[in-house]
Chains A and B, each alone.
Chain A
């Protein structure tokens, strides 16, 4: 595994306002990193700094081992970036624009033609080559923006909210594309849409008030999301002491008639034991549902927690 992006103690100040505060992380080849955060958390600022569009106040950024400030040309050759607003020249056609981007990235003449065809194919633009960018719909413009970012086959691809303005089918296609890109490249993806992260990312970072508040692999996150409570409903009133006696049970909460929420330690599973107990004592087990925390829940709890800290 080689590290493609290395960010150390990155900070960015706008006047008195600290947009990004001492952020460090690294990304290996083949990882897709989801970058989450509420509006104004510093996601875009961080991405712009990684791409050399903003100079950090402090800290260093290395792309494939090259420092973005000291060796910008080498570092940028490894980068593909789609900013929030796709940088498109509206009076060019798709082909002209992609050709221009390929030339800017220093591709050779032969390679240009191939990479433009490949880029259009990957982003579903094959029939759009001779259309004027100004006349394309927002979704197609977004695709041109993505095509522009992956054209020169960079090892690091950074996409700032790539699925904004796309219809549901296009969103699925783009997610598929991102997952495919993640096999050969490192991808950083910022988004507001939480399920998107679950679908396409292998790692998740949440940034809030410029600070990194969560850096977890998607497995770790889904573990956090798995239940630590079970919803049960019995026909007969149960003996609560017997349930309490089950190992790992931490609390019982009565919700309505004969329905209880049983809380337990996170890394244990008590459903089976409850079922056995209920059958033994003939309480008449009607429901047994392990409760799931969703992404929104975790996101809210993390961002609100750090609000309280301040």
Chain B
């Protein structure tokens, strides 16, 4: 309940600044362009696909790449959304309002998380409208489509949790943004080491966000991947709570 109060204010504040609107507009514009080029590409290769048995369909060639591209764009913009959540409150000393109110630290962190998450769901909704528009002219593999949506939800929540943690560590919003962007990008590409020569580390492959995300995007929903994301989210949220508690313990 308290978390919802905090989330509500945070979300309102987001929409009071031009940042939220700019992000919504820019992502939509870029992804719509990518969506169109994807359709164009599909139309050019469609005649060749007809002859092949078990050829990839619309969902594989248009929907999955669209969400894959969306993930990369989110990698760039989520740090901008999360950077101010905690570090700004600390800088403006408004954090003491939350510390003095009868609210637990986890409620504060979860409230902040929910606010950004709600905003991300709005982005996801407007992205999902694009593939859904294909239903007017043909069929979609809805199973795969929902797997993609699940992948996006988990990915967004994970990016969000990490961004929040960076905001809890950093004393300045921009430092938080750079930190979370760097960390996310590293986690995205960490399995590149040795992957070409075929002797990549199993640990790095497990840590890499991309591996798990791609499995889901292909329509392969396995507990290993889902569990990875849940661990990731819970892990960074609890780290954020610990970090916030440190504010009161400061030596």
Q: B49 in the interface, Cβ–Cβ < 8 Å?
A: no
Contact with A along B69-96 (1 / 0, CB 8 A): 0000000000000000000000011111
Q: Contact between B17 and A101 (Cβ–Cβ < 8 Å)?
A: no
Q: Of A22-30, A75-83, A201-209, which stretch is located at the interface?
A: A75-83
Q: Which of A83, A100, A148 contacts B5 (CB 8 A)?
A: A100
Residue among A14, A76, A104 facing the most chain B CB atoms (10 A cut-off): A104
Q: A177 on the interface (CB 8 Å rule)?
A: no
Interface positions, chain B 93-129, Cβ under 8 Å from A, are: 93-104
Interface residues of B in 1-41 (CB under 8 A from A): 1-2, 5-6, 9, 13, 16-17
B96→A88 contact, CB < 8 A: no
List of B residues within 8 angstroms of A89 by Cβ: 9, 13, 92, 94
Q: Does A106 contact B (CB under 8 A)?
A: yes
> Contact partner of A85 among B93, B98, B101, B102, CB < 8 A?
B93
Taking CB atoms, residues of chain A closer than 8 Å to B16 are 91
In the complex, which of the residues B100, B103, B248 contacts A79, with contact meaning CB atoms closer than 8 Å?
A: B100
Given A51-B99, A51-B100, A106-B102, also A88-B251 (CB < 8 A): no
Chain A residues with CB under 8 Å of B93's CB are 83, 85, 87
Q: Are B96 and A104 in contact (CB-based, < 8 A)?
A: no
Residues on A with C-beta less than 8 A from B96 are 48, 51, 53, 81, 83, 87
A87-B93, A104-B2, A106-B2 are contacts. A55–B100 as well, Cβ < 8 Å? no
- Interface code A85-117, partner B: CB below 8 Å = 1, 0 otherwise? 101111110000000110111100000000000
Q: In angstroms, how far is the closest chain B Cβ from the Cβ of A52?
A: 6
Write the nearest CB–CB distance from B96 to chain A, whole angstroms: 5
B13: A residues at CB distance < 8 A:
89, 91-92
Q: Can you give 12 contacting A-B residue pairs, CB < 8 Å?
A: A15-B251, A72-B104, A79-B100, A83-B93, A85-B93, A87-B96, A87-B97, A101-B97, A101-B101, A104-B5, A104-B101, A106-B1
Instruction: Indicate with 1 or 0, residue by residue over A60-87, a CB within 8 angstroms of chain B CB atoms.
Output: 0000000000001110110111010101
Does A13 sit within 8 A of B, measured CB to CB? yes
Q: Across the interface, which residues of B come within 8 angstroms of A90, CB to CB?
A: 92
Interface contact A105-B102, CB-CB below 8 Å: yes
The CA-CA distance from A181 to B1 in the complex, in Å, is 30
A53 and B100 in contact (CB under 8 A), knowing A83-B93, A91-B16, A91-B17? yes
User: A81–B93 Cα gap in the complex (Å)?
Assistant: 13
Q: Are B9 and A53 in contact (CB under 8 A)?
A: no
Chain B residues with CB under 8 A of A72: 102, 104
Q: Cβ of A73 and Cβ of B102 under 8 Å apart?
A: yes
Q: Does B55 contact A (CB under 8 A)?
A: no
Decide: A77 and B97 in contact? CB cutoff 8 A.
no
Would you give the shortest CB distance from B2 to chain A, in whole angstroms?
A: 7
Given the complex, which residues of B lie within 8 Å of A121, measured CB to CB? Answer: none
Residues of A within 8 A of B135 (CB): none
User: Within the assembled complex, what's the spacing in Å between the Cα atoms of A231 and B92?
Assistant: 54
B250 at the interface (CB under 8 A from A): yes
Does chain A have a CB within 8 A of B50?
Answer: no
> A217–B250 Cα gap in the complex (Å)?
34
CA distance A105 to B99 in the complex (A): 11
Q: Is the CB of A148 within 8 A of B102?
A: no
Complex: how many Å from CA A296 to CA B155? 63
- Asked if A289 lies at the interface with its beta carbon under 8 angstroms from chain B, I say no
Closest chain-B Cβ to A187's Cβ sits at a distance in Å of 15
Which one of B1, B2, B248 lies within 8 Å of A54 (CB-CB)? B248
Q: Is the CB of A76 within 8 A of B101?
A: yes
CA distance A88 to B13 in the complex (A): 13
Distance in angstroms from A103 CB to nearest chain B CB is 4
Q: Report chain B residues within 8 Å CB of A92.
A: 9, 13
Q: For the complex, give the distance between the alpha carbons of A74 and B101 in Å.
A: 10
For A101, the chain B residues whose CB sits under 8 A away are 97, 101
Is residue B249 within 8 Å, beta carbon to beta carbon, of the partner chain? Answer: yes
Q: Are B99 and A52 in contact (CB under 8 A)?
A: yes
Chain A residues closer than 8 Å to B94, beta-carbon distance: 87-89
Please report the C-alpha to C-alpha distance between residue A91 and residue B18 in the assembled complex, in whole angstroms.
13
CA distance A54 to B250 in the complex (A): 8
Contact residue among B98, B102, B249 (Cβ-Cβ distance under 8 Å from A77): B102
CB-contacts of A254-309 with B (<8 A): none
Residues of B within 8 Å of A15, CB to CB, are: 251
Chain B minimum-CB-distance residue to A88: B94
Q: Which residues of B contact A79 (CB under 8 A)?
A: 100
CA distance A88 to B95 in the complex (A): 10
The complex places the Cα of A79 from the Cα of B5 at a distance, in Å, of 19
CB < 8 Å neighbour of B100 from A14, A52, A74, A100: A52
Q: State the CA gap A306–B99 with chains docked (Å).
A: 34
Chain A residue numbers with a CB within 8 Å of B9 are 89, 92, 100
A13, B95: Cα distance in complex, Å? 22
Interface contacts beyond A55-B248, A87-B94: sample of 4 additional A-B pairs, CB < 8 Å, sorted by A: A51-B96, A52-B100, A53-B96, A76-B102
B251 and A14 within 8 A (CB): yes
Most buried by A among B5, B16, B97: B97
A87 and B99 CA atoms in complex are apart in Å by 11
Q: Which residues of A contact B98 (CB under 8 A)?
A: 104
